[in-house]
Amino acid sequence: MTGRWLPAAAAVLGLPLFLVGIAARRDLPAGDREKAPAVAAAAGGQATSAVAAGSLYSLGIEVLGTDGRTRPLDEWRGHPVLASMFFASCPTACPLLINDLQRLEAALPADLREQVRVLLVSFDPKRDSPTVLESVVGHHGLDSRRWRVAAAENEDGARLLAAALGIRYRASAGGMFDHTVRVAVLDGRGRIRARSGDVMTLVPALRAAAAARD
């Protein structure tokens, strides 16, 4: 299967998220790479170097939370973290992503679930204000003790984080975004242990991340 973009309305066609994830794990065709924003180009070198050196947290990215406060990306240092990106006005793919993350969380053994944290960062910082982000939390009934729904502090930060996580996105008509779907497992030091579009395959990586002590 060749890689492709996921339009925000793709799930209307009945595509389950795990099939979307298969596409997300593959490289984009040359035509799409040429049309994409500089997520992997301008930001990719710095992000790749930082991740290769050890930790996503060394990128120095900050995010804006639902309370209007700016926090460092490593707020949950010491915990295994499920990290991904979204945008609040996404009608289909992003809600499906959140639902699948909730399904994964519910399936974890209680001891592991208590350790795991979920970080969702919007790549639409111009529109996803703290009030908008709070509405996402309320709509999905997310537990703020374990979930952080935030927006990148600015577009440069969004591009940098997306490149590090292996997520590609671009603006499309009507204020929407076409984007790939991928979730990364971070260990307590912010090292990426696994990435996938099928969140249920990430349980072994979460166990390994929780057990890591180095």
Q: What is the mean pLDDT of the chain?
A: 81
User: Would residue 183 count as lying in a domain?
Assistant: yes
Does residue 112 contact residue 206 with C-beta atoms inside 8 Å? yes
User: Would residue 65 count as lying in a domain?
Assistant: yes
User: Would residue 86 count as lying in a domain?
Assistant: yes
The pLDDT of 94-113, averaged and rounded, is: 96
Three-class DSSP category at 168: coil
The pLDDT of 97-112, averaged and rounded, is: 96
pLDDT at 160 (0 to 100): 95
The pLDDT of 190-200, averaged and rounded, is: 95
Residue 34 has pLDDT above 50, yes or no: no
Residue 189 has pLDDT above 60, yes or no: yes
The band of 35, judged by pLDDT with boundaries at 50, 70 and 90, is very low
pLDDT at 51 (0 to 100): 56
User: Would residue 1 count as lying in a domain?
Assistant: no
User: Would residue 88 count as lying in a domain?
Assistant: yes
Does residue 46 contact residue 59 with C-beta atoms inside 8 Å? yes
- Output the CA–CA distances (angstroms, integers) from residue 61 to 70, 109, 172, in the order listed: 10, 31, 25
| Among the ranges given (6-20, 35-49, 80-94), the one the predictor scored with the smallest mean pLDDT | 6-20
The pLDDT of 190-196, averaged and rounded, is: 96
Question: Tokens 């973009």 label which residue?
Answer: 5
Query: How confident is the model over 118-170, as pLDDT tens digits?
Result: 999 999 999 999 999 999 999 999 999 999 999 999 999 999 999 999 999 99
Three-class DSSP category at 60: coil
Q: Could you give the count of Cα atoms lying within 13 Å of 101 in the half-sphere of its Cβ?
A: 32
| Among the ranges given (15-29, 37-51, 92-106, 187-201), the one the predictor scored with the smallest mean pLDDT | 15-29
User: Would residue 44 count as lying in a domain?
Assistant: yes
Show the domain range for 55.
10-211
Does residue 209 contact residue 196 with C-beta atoms inside 8 Å? no
The band of 175, judged by pLDDT with boundaries at 50, 70 and 90, is confident
Q: CA 138 to CA 29: how far, in whole Å?
A: 38
User: Would residue 119 count as lying in a domain?
Assistant: yes
Does residue 57 contact residue 189 with C-beta atoms inside 8 Å? yes
Does residue 84 contact residue 202 with C-beta atoms inside 8 Å? no
User: Would residue 5 count as lying in a domain?
Assistant: no
Question: Tokens 């499920």 label which residue?
Answer: 82
Q: Which is higher by pLDDT, 46 or 145?
A: 145
Among candidate residues 47, 31, 135, 46, the one with its CA nearest the CA of residue 83: 47
Overall number of domains in the chain: 1
Q: CA 169 to CA 40: how far, in whole Å?
A: 10
The CATH number of the domain holding residue 48 is 3.40.30.10
